């Protein structure tokens, strides 16, 4: 059955001036509201132009997917009306500067429909998304990959793809806006004032991470978060009726959201406009707008079917769709009148940013100290001397768990870095992550910096990714037990992909947590995270290494860091150093000469103490022993071959690693003749000391292994 050609209702407000080609192209300057905010917005264009614009969006998506013979045309075809109204009439941005601070943020959580986003960015004038880029959709080296990637495409805020993650990122973006607005806006000057918009689909709604994030957004009252639920009733396997029949709006109402239903998302342009306006009037709650659409709208034979969800229409169906929607143009055609209309965003965007710059200049004069802090957050430039705030330790400092030493570092950094904030998944008193000089970020106290995520690891990581990409100088951390990085694998992986420098503070890093047993004792997590590209996996052994690990984590703004921290107390070791940690691996003790020790012990974290004690005993037996801390494999691999040879000389084949985790991966450093002491099984429920003894992570076993080489 053919889908009828859309006939949009007339715009509620007809512009007063006529542009070239006979189309209405007026703009209106809205009077400033509180804080002196000006907004230059395009008025709804004539109905005929709106329809041509919407069909341009549809066919740019159809043609790109068809050329690539790969992609998802259904969502862009169904969501084109929503995309047009949002981008052309409401979204505040500057195509010439995609990183302008006070822009509205847009996230396509249903990232498979990314040709909708690319088409909109192209029409809006983003130079990074040309027609040639659209023609290169999904091809090697293109700026239009198969799912949105923020490091590839100007105008894309976050990397999305795994369903629900982008929605949770949007919650983080909205949290950042609310936090910064509460800290820096003044009664006479509003310098933080933007919305976060997100489109999510049925698949996102089914994923648990979305519900966790929605629960927090409602609790926090993120009134400037507006989510559009593309309600098209189709997923990859077919109708959503086979697995998803809940009342989504009722669920969101229970989670503390304002909800609206646009029943005709295909041609109800005025209804979409009215819904967005209503959502913007709701200040104390986020809003979910359910927009019922037809997936693959306009396709005579594939609309409303799962076959249009994830594959090209095919040449015959493309031609049938062109005929059905009266689109008599060659592929990738943008009508001149559509180009002329969308060109207004270039002038408008420049004007918006210029007005904000003028306002911020006034803010700098009136509120100098606040401006310095906000500038640090906007630019990502760290305050001078921030590293000096990190605590320093000596071998005489008392033994302590690295989770406790971590808390000292967190509190020291929060005092000197304006954009430092974070929290844990209901474990602040166990992870030791509370910032003692600040209160809790809550609905009515958004200026505070302790974020209470509750037992929501999935959403916690994704929300922190959103915070990190909001502004270069926002440095979020989040925390749980190290074993529960398994719950967070998707956001950790996307943190690496998004180049978002989240600091993941993971405590209870080994069997050393003791009696809670194997469900809580990580053994494979260290290696599995070392296997993930684009992250730094750090396991410090004492206070000096913990402080140094935080220095590394703060410096690395485009890759995340994971700190694995102990529950049990560890001594402050002789020979550990900040400079050594910066290189990932280094010698902490050695009684050899000529870079030719008899034996090399290599270790990390809590087992470095064991290696050092064993080395001391063997040295008494006239053995030359080197102890190496390999605190971060990734950083070590980035060093020169000469440096790596100076630490692990290739001529020395007698090497032993000791680490409370699986031995897989250690062969790279111990070689074929070396031995790896670790845990290639799950742990046990018992006091930590007994588990270490039973599993052979002892000085005695290390010495015996050394003598067997």
Q: Are residues 465 and 604 in the same domain?
A: no
Per-residue model confidence as pLDDT tens digits over 642-665: 999 999 999 999 999 999 999 999
Domain count, the chain: 3
- Residue 4, pLDDT above cutoff 90: no
Whether the CB-CB separation of 49 and 23 falls below 8 Å is answered with: yes
Domain endpoint, select from 321, 349, 377: 349
What's the CA gap between 450 and 220, in Å, rounded? 13
Q: Are residues 614 and 546 in the same domain?
A: no
Q: Are residues 440 and 558 in the same domain?
A: yes
pLDDT band at 25 (very low <50, low <70, confident <90, very high): very low
- Residue 38, pLDDT above cutoff 80: no
pLDDT band at 358 (very low <50, low <70, confident <90, very high): very high
Residue 332 CB contacts under 8 Å (≥ 6 apart), including other chains: 60, 63, 64, 131, 134, 135
pLDDT band at 44 (very low <50, low <70, confident <90, very high): confident
pLDDT band at 41 (very low <50, low <70, confident <90, very high): low
Q: Are residues 556 and 596 in the same domain?
A: no
What's the CA gap between 84 and 409, in Å, rounded? 47
- Residue 43, pLDDT above cutoff 70: no
Mean pLDDT over all residues of the chain? 94
Average pLDDT over residues 667-678: 97
- How many residues does the structure list for the chain? 709
**Which residue shows structure tokens 């069909």?**
55
Binding residue ranges for Mg(2+): 202, 232, 234
What's the CA gap between 690 and 692, in Å, rounded? 5
The answer to whether position 216 is within a domain reads yes
Binding residue ranges for thiamine diphosphate: 112, 161-163, 203, 232, 309, 484
| Helices 489-497 and 165-184: angle between axes, nearest 10 degrees | 70
Average pLDDT over residues 120-128: 97
The answer to whether position 38 is within a domain reads no
The one-character DSSP state at 675 is E
What's the CA gap between 349 and 354, in Å, rounded? 9
pLDDT number for residue 28: 39
Average pLDDT over residues 636-640: 98
Burial of 92 (0-12, 13-18, 19+ CB in 10 A): buried
- b vs e for 182-203, b when ≥16 Cβ sit within 10 Å of the residue's Cβ? ebbbeeebbbbbbbbbbbbbbb
Q: Are residues 646 and 600 in the same domain?
A: yes
What's the CA gap between 495 and 412, in Å, rounded? 24
* CA atoms lying within 13 Å on the CB side of residue 165: 25
Q: Are residues 287 and 423 in the same domain?
A: no
- Residue 199, pLDDT above cutoff 90: yes
pLDDT number for residue 45: 77
Q: Are residues 495 and 539 in the same domain?
A: yes
Helices (H), 368-488: 368-379, 402-416, 428-431, 457-470
Q: Are residues 183 and 243 in the same domain?
A: yes
Whether 51 sits among the annotated catalytic residues: the reply is no
**Active-site hit among 66, 348, 457, 612:** 457
Q: Are residues 545 and 643 in the same domain?
A: no
Q: Are residues 138 and 276 in the same domain?
A: yes
Q: What is the CATH number of the domain that holds 694?
A: 3.40.50.920
Q: Are residues 149 and 257 in the same domain?
A: yes
- Residue 8, pLDDT above cutoff 50: no
The answer to whether position 558 is within a domain reads yes
pLDDT band at 42 (very low <50, low <70, confident <90, very high): low
pLDDT number for residue 651: 96
DSSP-derived secondary structure for 361-394: HHHHHH-HHHHHHHHHHHH-PPPTTGGGGS----
Which range is least confidently modeled, 22-31, 126-135, 231-240, 624-633? 22-31
The answer to whether position 354 is within a domain reads no
Average pLDDT over residues 337-361: 97
pLDDT band at 10 (very low <50, low <70, confident <90, very high): very low
Q: Between 535 and 6, where is the model more confident?
A: 535
pLDDT band at 26 (very low <50, low <70, confident <90, very high): very low
pLDDT number for residue 6: 37
Q: What is the value of pTM for the model shown?
A: 0.94
- Residue 475, pLDDT above cutoff 70: yes
The answer to whether position 150 is within a domain reads yes
Binding residue ranges: 72, 112, 161-163, 202-203, 232, 234, 309, 403, 430, 484, 508, 516, 520, 567
C-beta neighbour count of 108 within 10 angstroms? 31
The answer to whether position 11 is within a domain reads no
The answer to whether position 65 is within a domain reads yes
Average pLDDT over residues 261-268: 98
Q: What is the CATH number of the domain that holds 293?
A: 3.40.50.970
The answer to whether position 39 is within a domain reads no
665 is in which domain, residue-wise?
587-707
Per-residue model confidence as pLDDT tens digits over 399-442: 999 999 999 999 999 999 999 999 999 999 999 999 999 999 99
- Residue 253, pLDDT above cutoff 60: yes
Q: What is the share, in percent, of the chain residues with pLDDT greater than 70?
A: 94
């Amino acid at each position: 059955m053919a889908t009828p050609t859309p006939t949009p209702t007339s715009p509620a407000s007809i512009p007063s001036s006529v542009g070239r080609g006979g189309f209405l192209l007026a703009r209106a300057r809205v009077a400033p509201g509180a804080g002196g905010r000006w907004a230059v917005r395009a008025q709804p264009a004539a109905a005929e132009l709106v329809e041509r614009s919407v069909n341009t969006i549809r066919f740019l998506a159809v043609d790109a997917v068809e050329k690539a013979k790969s992609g998802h045309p259904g969502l862009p075809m169904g969501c084109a009306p929503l995309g047009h109204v949002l981008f052309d009439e409401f979204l505040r941005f500057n195509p010439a500067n995609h990183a302008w601070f006070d822009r509205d943020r847009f996230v396509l959580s249903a990232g498979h429909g990314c040709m909708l986003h690319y088409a909109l960015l192209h029409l809006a004038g983003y130079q990074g998304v040309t027609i040639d880029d659209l023609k290169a959709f999904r091809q090697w080296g293109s700026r239009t990959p198969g799912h949105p990637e923020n490091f590839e495409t100007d105008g894309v805020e976050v990397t999305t793809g795994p369903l629900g993650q982008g929605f949770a990122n949007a919650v983080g973006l909205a949290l950042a806006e609310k936090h910064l607005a509460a800290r820096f806006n003044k009664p006479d000057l509003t310098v933080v004032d933007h919305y976060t918009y997100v489109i999510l689909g049925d698949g996102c709604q089914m994923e648990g991470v979305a519900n966790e994030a929605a629960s927090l957004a409602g609790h926090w009252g993120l009134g400037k978060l507006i989510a559009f639920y593309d309600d098209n009733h189709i997923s990859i396997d077919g109708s959503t009726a086979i697995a998803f029949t809940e009342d989504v709006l009722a669920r969101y109402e229970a989670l503390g959201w304002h909800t609206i239903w646009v029943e005709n998302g295909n041609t109800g342009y005025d209804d979409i406009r009215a819904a967005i306006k209503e959502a913007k009037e709701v200040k104390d709650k986020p809003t979910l707008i359910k927009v019922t659409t037809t997936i693959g709208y306009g396709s005579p034979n594939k609309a409303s079917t799962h076959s249009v969800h994830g594959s090209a229409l095919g040449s015959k169906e493309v031609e049938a769709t062109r005929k059905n929607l009266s689109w008599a143009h060659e592929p990738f055609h943008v009508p001149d009148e559509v180009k002329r209309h969308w060109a207004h965003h270039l002038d408008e965007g420049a004007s918006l940013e210029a007005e904000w710059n003028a306002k911020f200049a006034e803010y700098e004069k009136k509120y100098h100290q606040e401006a310095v802090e906000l500038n640090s957050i906007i630019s990502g430039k760290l305050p001078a001397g921030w590293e000096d705030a990190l605590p320093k330790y000596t071998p005489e400092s008392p033994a302590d768990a690295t989770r406790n030493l971590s808390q000292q570092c967190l509190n020291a950094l929060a005092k000197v870095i304006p954009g430092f904030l974070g929290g844990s998944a209901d474990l602040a008193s166990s992870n030791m992550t509370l910032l003692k000089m600040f209160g809790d970020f809550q609905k009515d106290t958004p200026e505070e910096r302790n974020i209470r995520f509750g037992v929501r690891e999935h959403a916690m990581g994704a929300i922190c990714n959103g915070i990190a990409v909001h502004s270069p100088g926002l440095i979020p951390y989040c925390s749980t037990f190290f074993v529960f990085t398994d719950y967070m694998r998707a956001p950790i992986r996307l943190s690496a992909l998004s180049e978002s420098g989240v600091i993941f503070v993971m405590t209870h890093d080994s069997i050393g947590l003791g009696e809670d047993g194997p469900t809580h004792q990580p053994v494979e997590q260290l290696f599995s995270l070392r296997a993930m590209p684009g992250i730094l996996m750090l396991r410090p052994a004492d206070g000096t290494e913990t402080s140094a690990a935080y220095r590394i984590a703060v410096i690395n703004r485009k890759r995340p860091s994971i700190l694995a921290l102990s529950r049990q107390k560890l001594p402050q070791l002789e020979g550990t150093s900040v400079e050594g940690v910066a290189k990932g691996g280094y010698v902490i003790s050695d009684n050899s000469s000529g870079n030719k020790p008899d034996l090399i012990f290599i270790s990390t974290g809590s087992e470095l103490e064991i290696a050092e004690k064993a080395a001391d005993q063997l040295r008494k037996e006239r053995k030359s022993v080197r102890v190496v801390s390999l605190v971060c494999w990734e950083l070590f691999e980035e060093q020169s071959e000469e440096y790596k040879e100076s630490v692990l000389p290739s001529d020395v084949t007698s090497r032993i690693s000791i680490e409370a985790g699986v031995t897989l991966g250690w062969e790279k450093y111990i070689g074929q003749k070396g031995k790896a002491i670790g845990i290639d099984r799950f742990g046990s429920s018992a006091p930590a000391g007994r588990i270490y003894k039973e599993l052979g992570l002892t000085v005695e076993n290390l010495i015996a292994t050394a003598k067997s080489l």
